[in-house]
Amino acid sequence: MFAVIQASGRQFRVQPGAIIEVDGHGNGDQGGEIAFDQVLLVGKDAGEVMAGAPFVAGARVVGVIDGLDKGAKVRIFKKKRRKQYRRTQGHRSLLTRVRITEIVA
């Protein structure tokens, strides 16, 4: 069984046991449970596929928060040649690692 969910503006194909990284730390504490209600598609083992318009009614994906982390450093560099204009800025995105435990359809 697999599902396609929408979380933090992106789509993920998940199945029980899969690990995904979702943007932000505001989702809960480590070891806590998190549920995703925006399920776009559910595929069952028998080959049956349930597609939503836009979401599958009554379907949800449940996971456990494995860890809170920061992503790789991203550098933003702007320059205008011959104008002595240079700006450097950077950030590290906050990520939440989620282990999918079950798909309820």
Q: Quick one: pLDDT band at residue 25, thresholds 50, 70, 90?
A: confident
Average pLDDT of the residues of the chain: 94
Q: What are phi and psi of 84, to 5 degrees?
A: 55, 40
Q: What is the pTM of this model?
A: 0.83
What integer is the mean pLDDT of 73-81?
A: 98
Q: In sequence order, which residues have a C-beta less than 8 Å from that of residue 77 and are 6 or more positions away?
A: 86, 87, 88
Q: Give the percent of the chain with pLDDT over 90.
A: 88
The answer to whether 67 touches 40, Cβ cutoff 8 Å, is no
Q: What is the pLDDT of residues 81-104, one digit of tens each?
A: 999 999 999 999 999 999 999 999
